[in-house]
């Protein structure tokens, strides 16, 4: 293998040797001319191969790469090898990319890759259809300029992508579930799923429950009325009184269940509810105290720590029923004359309503499911205390509709703390 440094060294060595040889045989003048001539030939040959290399770079192709002479053989061989390897890895990369694109296209979900400035880098066909992206025009454009949905834009800007969001695309009445995930260096992957059919089925189910509850309400009210009249009659014997009062209690439970079912389906479905009412904390808490004092037969030590300067926008009825549900639970699941604390105020930038009790508590294995409909830790205890199993589910939905959340902390035999957290956007100060 020839090294350019060795070849240059040998060239100058031979030049000097030639100079002295010719100077000794002929004279110095001839020697100078001879080495200049040899130097000229040497440089010209290098210039020639540089020219050839330059020409090859203009349109590189393995078949027309020159062979070169001297040190250039080695240089051209190296270029040949690295060019061939580069081509090979490029082909491999293209194949992998093709496979990835094919897999992404075959998916049922829409996928959009965006950069740190939310500009679209790539999208599959499903996403192009769902979010109305035209890849020719819209690539490198911020996704929020192309898919202009307020909820999606807020979600994207908040940069908290733990949960997905469900939105309705008003342009085609399509329901979408969208989730963003961070990947690579500062890139994000937006996945979207068409949930229109699921939403439609859910709406049918909710409508059914709502209609069914409505239909049951009237006959049940009539039955309850008759039972009450029967209970009041003095002509009944002792056994009949017992039976009638049992029937009356069960009818009451059914009424409560139907009321809760109706409330839940109203919260879930009603888009018509005004959730921007100005709620005065002072008035709400006043009403709450009256209601609680009527309800609390077990006479707990209830203390209120209320910051009346913090008020929120929301649905007065829904929020009142959420608060009452939480307090009712605390009363139900806490022994007589034990302590219950109800507090309201600002925590960090959020507004938080908290009910803390020193009751029976809930073991951690139930906590993740406690807000599901009809989920009860102890079925009999809930029933005996008049629970329907829907309270926390109603509260969770009320909070969802107010962009807030419910946070539960509990320890068996020590007590529980239920927090309703409202985002700062809902707070107003008087
Ligand atoms: P229920 O009508 O049965 O009270 P909820 O949805 O309000 O239904 O509550 C679900 C379950 O959560 C209850 O059955 C009960 O086991 C448990 N729970 C709720 N609140 C409390 C509390 N403050 N202390 C202990 N357990 C509670």
Does 358 contact ligand 1 (Cβ within 6 A)?
no
Q: What is the pLDDT of residue 349?
A: 93
Buried b or exposed e, range 132-154, using 16+ CB within 10 angstroms: ebeeeebeeebbbebbebeebbe
Q: What is the DSSP string of 302-315?
A: EEEEE-TTEEEEE-
Residue 14, domain extent: 2-97
Residues 338, 299 contacting (CB under 8 angstroms): no
Q: Are residue 86 and residue 174 in the same domain, yes or no?
A: no
> What is the C-alpha to C-alpha distance for residues 370 and 35, in angstroms, rounded to an integer?
97
SS3 418: strand
Q: What is the pLDDT of residue 270?
A: 66
Residue range 307-324: mean pLDDT, rounded = 95
Q: How many independent structural domains does the chain possess?
A: 4
Does 382 contact ligand 1 (Cβ within 6 A)?
yes
For 328, the enclosing helix (H) or strand (E) is helix 316-332
Q: What is the DSSP string of 9-22?
A: HHHHHHHHHHHHHH
Q: Of 163, 194, 225, which residue is a domain's last?
A: 194
**Closest CA to ligand 1's atom 4:** 387
Between 28 and 420, where is the model more confident?
A: 420
Does 360 contact ligand 1 (Cβ within 6 A)?
yes
Question: Would the pLDDT of 348 be above 60?
Answer: yes
- Which percentage of the chain shows pLDDT scores above 70? 99
Phi-psi region of 361 (alpha: psi -120 to 50; beta: other; left: phi over 0): left
Question: Would the pLDDT of 4 be above 60?
Answer: yes
Q: Of 72, 97, 122, which residue is a domain's last?
A: 97
> What is the C-alpha to C-alpha distance for residues 352 and 190, in angstroms, rounded to an integer?
32
Could you tell me the distance, in angstroms and rounded to a whole number, from the CA of residue 124 to the centre of ligand 1? Answer: 46
Does 328 contact ligand 1 (Cβ within 6 A)?
no
Q: What is the pLDDT of residue 233?
A: 76
**Ligand 1 atom closest to 359 (CA):** 24
Does 377 contact ligand 1 (Cβ within 6 A)?
yes
The two beta strands, 301-306 and 339-347, are: parallel
Question: Would the pLDDT of 61 be above 70?
Answer: yes
Domain containing residue 221: CATH number:
1.10.287.130
Hey, which of 300, 366, 370, 407 would you mutate to test ligand 1's pocket, going by the most ligand atoms within 8 Å of its Cβ? 370
pLDDT tens string 224-251? 988 888 888 777 788 888 898 889 888 9
pLDDT tens string 81-112? 999 999 899 999 999 988 988 888 888 899 99
Q: Are residue 88 and residue 121 in the same domain, yes or no?
A: no
Q: Of 170, 194, 218, which residue is a domain's last?
A: 194
Weakest-pLDDT range from 3-7, 82-86, 303-307: 3-7
| Confidence band of 418 (pLDDT split at 50, 70, 90) | very high
Does 416 contact ligand 1 (Cβ within 6 A)?
yes
Q: Are residue 422 and residue 288 in the same domain, yes or no?
A: yes
Hey, which of 362, 367, 371 would you mutate to test ligand 1's pocket, going by the most ligand atoms within 8 Å of its Cβ? 362
Weakest-pLDDT range from 78-82, 288-292, 386-390: 386-390
Does 331 contact ligand 1 (Cβ within 6 A)?
no
Highest mean pLDDT among 64-68, 118-122, 202-206 belongs to 118-122
φ, ψ for residue 337, nearest 5 deg: 55, 20
Evaluate whether residue 203 is within a structural domain. Answer: yes
Q: What is the mean pLDDT of the chain?
A: 90
Could you tell me the distance, in angstroms and rounded to a whole number, from the CA of residue 382 to the centre of ligand 1? Answer: 7
Q: Are residue 229 and residue 111 in the same domain, yes or no?
A: no
Could you tell me the distance, in angstroms and rounded to a whole number, from the CA of residue 334 to the centre of ligand 1? Answer: 11
> What is the C-alpha to C-alpha distance for residues 417 and 330, in angstroms, rounded to an integer?
9
End-to-end CA distance of the chain: 88
Between 289 and 295, where is the model more confident?
A: 289
Q: Are residue 86 and residue 220 in the same domain, yes or no?
A: no
Which residue spans within 220-286 are E strands per DSSP?
277-279
pLDDT tens string 370-390? 999 999 888 777 777 778 899
Evaluate whether residue 229 is within a structural domain. Answer: yes
Evaluate whether residue 187 is within a structural domain. Answer: yes
Residue 196, both tokens: 């229109």
Question: Would the pLDDT of 2 be above 80?
Answer: no
> What is the C-alpha to C-alpha distance for residues 112 and 25, in angstroms, rounded to an integer?
82
Q: What is the pLDDT of residue 109?
A: 92
Q: Is 219 exposed, middle or buried (0-12, 13-18, 19+ CB in 10 A)?
A: exposed
Q: What is the pLDDT of residue 278?
A: 94
Phi-psi region of 335 (alpha: psi -120 to 50; beta: other; left: phi over 0): beta
Q: Are residue 91 and residue 13 in the same domain, yes or no?
A: yes
Q: Are residue 294 and residue 391 in the same domain, yes or no?
A: yes
Evaluate whether residue 102 is within a structural domain. Answer: no
Hey, which of 264, 300, 323, 391 would you mutate to test ligand 1's pocket, going by the most ligand atoms within 8 Å of its Cβ? 391
Residue range 139-152: mean pLDDT, rounded = 91
Could you tell me the distance, in angstroms and rounded to a whole number, from the CA of residue 399 to the centre of ligand 1? Answer: 17
Evaluate whether residue 371 is within a structural domain. Answer: yes
Domain containing residue 380: CATH number:
3.30.565.10
Domain containing residue 168: CATH number:
3.30.450.20
Does 370 contact ligand 1 (Cβ within 6 A)?
yes
Evaluate whether residue 397 is within a structural domain. Answer: yes
Evaluate whether residue 82 is within a structural domain. Answer: yes
Weakest-pLDDT range from 93-97, 258-262, 355-359, 383-387: 383-387
Q: Are residue 287 and residue 354 in the same domain, yes or no?
A: yes
Q: What is the pLDDT of residue 271?
A: 62
Residue range 165-185: mean pLDDT, rounded = 88
Residue range 210-216: mean pLDDT, rounded = 89
Does 264 contact ligand 1 (Cβ within 6 A)?
no
Q: Are residue 180 and residue 258 in the same domain, yes or no?
A: no
Residues 6+ apart with CB under 8 A from 184: none
Q: Are residue 321 and residue 219 in the same domain, yes or no?
A: no
Does 391 contact ligand 1 (Cβ within 6 A)?
yes
Question: Would the pLDDT of 408 be above 90?
Answer: yes
Q: Are residue 213 and residue 344 in the same domain, yes or no?
A: no
Q: What is the pLDDT of residue 342?
A: 97
Could you tell me the distance, in angstroms and rounded to a whole number, from the CA of residue 371 to the centre of ligand 1? Answer: 9
Evaluate whether residue 358 is within a structural domain. Answer: yes
Question: By C-alpha distance, which of 118, 108, 136 is closest to 190?
Answer: 118
Q: Are residue 356 and residue 306 in the same domain, yes or no?
A: yes
Does 213 contact ligand 1 (Cβ within 6 A)?
no
**Ligand 1 atom closest to 376 (CA):** 14
């Amino acid at each position: 293998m020839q090294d350019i440094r060795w070849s240059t060294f040998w060239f100058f060595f031979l030049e000097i040797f030639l100079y002295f040889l010719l100077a000794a045989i002929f004279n110095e003048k001839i020697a100078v001319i001879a080495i200049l001539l040899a130097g000229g030939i040497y440089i010209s040959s290098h210039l020639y191969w540089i020219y050839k290399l330059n020409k090859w770079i203009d349109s590189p192709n393995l078949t027309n790469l020159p062979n070169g002479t001297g040190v250039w053989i080695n240089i051209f061989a190296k270029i040949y090898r690295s060019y061939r390897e580069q081509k090979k890895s490029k082909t491999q990369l293209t194949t992998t990319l093709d496979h990835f694109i094919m897999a992404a296209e075959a998916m049922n979900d829409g996928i959009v890759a965006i950069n740190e400035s939310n500009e679209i880098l790539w999208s599959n066909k499903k996403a192009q259809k769902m979010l109305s992206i035209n890849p020719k025009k819209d690539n490198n454009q911020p996704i929020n300029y192309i898919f202009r949905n307020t909820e999606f834009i807020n979600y994207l800007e908040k940069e908290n992508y733990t949960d997905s969001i469900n939105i309705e695309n008003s342009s085609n009445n399509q329901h979408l579930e969208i989730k963003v995930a961070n990947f690579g260096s500062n890139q994000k992957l937006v996945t979207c799923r068409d949930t229109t059919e699921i939403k439609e089925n859910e709406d049918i189910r909710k409508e059914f429950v709502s209609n069914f509850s409505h239909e049951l309400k009237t006959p049940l009210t009539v039955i309850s009325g008759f039972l009450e009249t029967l209970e009041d009659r003095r002509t009944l014997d002792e056994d009949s009184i017992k039976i009638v009062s049992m029937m009356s209690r069960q009818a009451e439970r059914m009424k409560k269940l139907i009321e809760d079912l109706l409330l839940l389906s109203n919260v879930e479905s009603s888009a018509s509810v005004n959730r921007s009412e100005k709620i005065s904390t002072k008035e709400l808490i006043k009403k709450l105290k009256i209601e609680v004092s009527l309800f609390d037969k077990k006479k707990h030590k209830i203390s209120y720590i209320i910051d009346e300067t913090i008020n929120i926008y929301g649905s007065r009825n829904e929020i009142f029923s959420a608060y009452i549900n939480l307090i009712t639970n605390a009363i139900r699941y806490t022994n007589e004359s034990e302590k219950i604390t109800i507090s309201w105020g600002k925590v960090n930038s959020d507004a938080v309503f908290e009910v803390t009790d020193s009751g029976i508590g809930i073991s951690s294995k139930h906590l993740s499911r406690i807000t599901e409909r009809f989920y009860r830790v102890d079925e009999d205890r809930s029933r005996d205390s008049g629970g329907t199993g829907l309270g926390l589910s109603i509260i969770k939905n009320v909070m969802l509709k107010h962009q807030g959340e419910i946070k539960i902390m509990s320890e068996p035999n020590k007590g529980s703390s239920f927090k309703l957290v409202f985002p700062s956007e809902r707070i107003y100060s008087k």
